[in-house]
Amino acid sequence: MKMRPGTQTGFLLCGKEWIEGEALEVRSPWDQGLVGRVTLATRADARQAVSHAVASLRRTRALPRWKRREILEDVAAALIEQKERFAQLIVAEAGKPVRLARVEVDRAVLTFKTAAEEAARLGGESIPLDLTEGNEGRWGLVQRFPVGPVLAITGFNFPLNLVAHKLAPAMAAGCPVLLKPAPQTPFTALALGEVILKTGWPDEALAVLPLSNADTAWLAEKEDRIKLVSFTGSARVGWELKARSGRKRVLLELGGNAALIVHSDWPDLDDAAHRTAHAAFGYAGQSCISVQRVFVEESIFQPFLWKLVEHTAALVTGNPADDATDVGPIIRPADADRVETWVREAVEAGARLVAGGERRNSVLTPAILTGTQPGMKVRDEEVFGPVVVVEPYTDFEEALAEVNHSRYGLQAGLLTRDAGRILTAYRELEIGALIVGDTPAWRLDPMPYGGVKDSGLGREGIRSAIDEMTEPRMLVMSGIR
């Protein structure tokens, strides 16, 4: 059964079985039209999927490296061939502007290609053990083995590449996977699962389960045959899930309110404002590393602010299916309500709305605020909407302190040419990555990715995730001449 937008009923992919049952409606963020209906998995389905995964572990673990590489390369090739199909799925259910949806497919291709290379390189080391008298002839071998079945839980904002960042490393490591996609965007995940099962990956080693949040939490807490939980989503849900997951390994890629520092020695203020506008408002700010807070050295604050207003005004807001659109809808009406409310609360508390903030259905025009204070939600929390706060600073150390004044610590950007300031920021900022010469929204998929504080636990990025999904095992040899 092909998964595509439409009013047909969707099905649950479990092994290679398509199971009918209670349907969950998926609606377009743009016009609330029906995208399709997908079967909601039950706890019994989840238990069966775990049993399949456990039974398949011997097969996935035994897959030779060349075969894992071949499977992952075949997935990448299929994504290239079906690029437009996947891009249209992302537009339909996520409301992502189509140009950005095509970029997401390209990123997923890179993710699977990189995983293929890492699968071939996955190795170990030999350790000499004849280091003390009486241990002559002893030596050791360390290799990495898959931890076992992985429960992967993904968010809505990158319905293909977030899923790829769970599945590709797990497949490279030899781990069976149960994937719980976001309820807003299940069709892209189901379509990717369908592609994977045509490549030679063992049928029972993949299940795509549109579970309720309650049943997902139950699965993480009660099903001890799952060995690792990898979650992307909100901080509140992620830390609660970790608390309930017992002795399982847990990887958390959570939220952020990413900051950018713009210092007066940066040579191209217009380019800085252009980058900031796209990094803050692309896909309506619905990325963990969208620019949310900008701290600008006082002497260039006003010129930067008005250039940012100018570049923001040039962005096209509207239908995500149009090639010209930069800013589409917020994922759900309730989320649009929340973002609009936070902006209004900030203005009522004394902030100044410089541009945007107008609401039409689920679309909010990009909002630029200044004069904000700590304690305002638009400054302290993760907005996950098209809102940016711009504030001046007089001292560079003050700017660093402002960046750190957050319960999040995912990525930050720094625009300066001063090596001393760069090294100071690298040392002092409490973040997972510092992006110098660009905004914190920049990311390349092979790099280690993750944060500190409420932004998460562990690292994604293919090589890092493979390390998390495998465990070293020691072999000691003795008495062999």
The alpha carbon of residue 21 and the mean position of all alpha carbons in its chain are separated, in whole angstroms, by: 29
pTM here is 0.95
Would you say residue 21 has pLDDT above 70? yes
Query: Average pLDDT, stretch 276-301?
Result: 98
For the stretch 310-321, pLDDT in tens is 999 999 999 999
Three-class SS string for the chain? CCCCCCCCECCEEECCEEECCCEEEEECCCCCCEEEEEECCCHHHHHHHHHHHHHHHHHHHHCCHHHHHHHHHHHHHHHHHCHHHHHHHHHHHHCCCHHHHHHHHHHHHHHHHHHHHHHHHCCEEEEECCCCCCCCCCEEEEEEEECCCEEEECCCCCCCHHHHHHHHHHHHHCCCEEEECCCCCHHHHHHHHHHHCCCCCCHHHEEECCCCHHHHHHHHHHCCCCCEEEEECCHHHHHHHHHHCCCCEEEEECCCCCEEEECCCCCCHHHHHHHHHHHHHHHHHCCCCCCCEEEEEHHHHHHHHHHHHHHHHCCCECCCCCCCCCECCCCCHHHHHHHHHHHHHHHHCCCEEEECCCEECCEECCEEEECCCCCCHHHHCCCCCCEEEEEEECCHHHHHHHHHCCCEECEEEEECCCHHHHHHHHHHCCCCEEEECCCCCCCCCCCCECCEECCEECCECHHHHHHHCEEEEEEEECCCC
- pLDDT for position 1: 34
Res. 4: pLDDT tops 80: no
Q: Over the stretch 205-249, which tens digit does the pLDDT of each residue have?
A: 999 999 999 999 999 999 999 999 999 999 999 999 999 999 999
Intra-chain end-to-end CA distance of the chain, in Å: 58
Catalytic sites, residue numbers: 253, 288
Query: Smallest Cα–Cα separation from 149: which of 202, 228, 68?
Result: 228
- Is residue 361 pLDDT above 50, yes or no? yes
Span 44-62, average pLDDT: 96
pLDDT tens digits for 141-150? 999 999 999 9
Nearest CA to 258 out of 297, 231, 285, 237 is that of 285
Strand partners, 231: 153, 252
Residue 53 has pLDDT above 60, yes or no: yes
Task: Give the tokens for residue 241.
Answer: 């899930």
Q: Tell me the domains of the chain and their CATH numbers.
A: 12-254+456-475 (3.40.605.10), 259-447 (3.40.309.10)
The pLDDT value given to residue 11: 60
What average pLDDT score do residues 163-168 get?
98
- The band of 7, judged by pLDDT with boundaries at 50, 70 and 90, is very low
338: left (phi over 0), alpha (psi -120 to 50) or beta: alpha
Among 362, 323, 315, CA closest to 101: 323
Residue 14 has a pLDDT of 67
Q: What burial class does residue 429 get, using C-beta atoms within 10 Å of its C-beta: 0-12 exposed, 13-18 middle, 19+ buried? A: buried
Largest CA-CA distance found in the chain, in angstroms, rounded: 81
> Shortest CA distance to 223 belongs to which of 242, 245, 252, 208?
245
Question: What pLDDT digit, counting tens, does each position of 79-129 carry?
Answer: 999 999 999 999 999 999 999 999 999 999 999 999 999 999 998 899 999
- pLDDT confidence of residue 3: 41
Predicted confidence at residue 22, as pLDDT, reads 82
Q: Summarize the confidence of residues 269-296 as an average pLDDT.
A: 98
Q: Which pLDDT value is given to residue 305? A: 98
Q: How confident is the model at residue 10 (pLDDT cuts 50, 70, 90)?
A: low
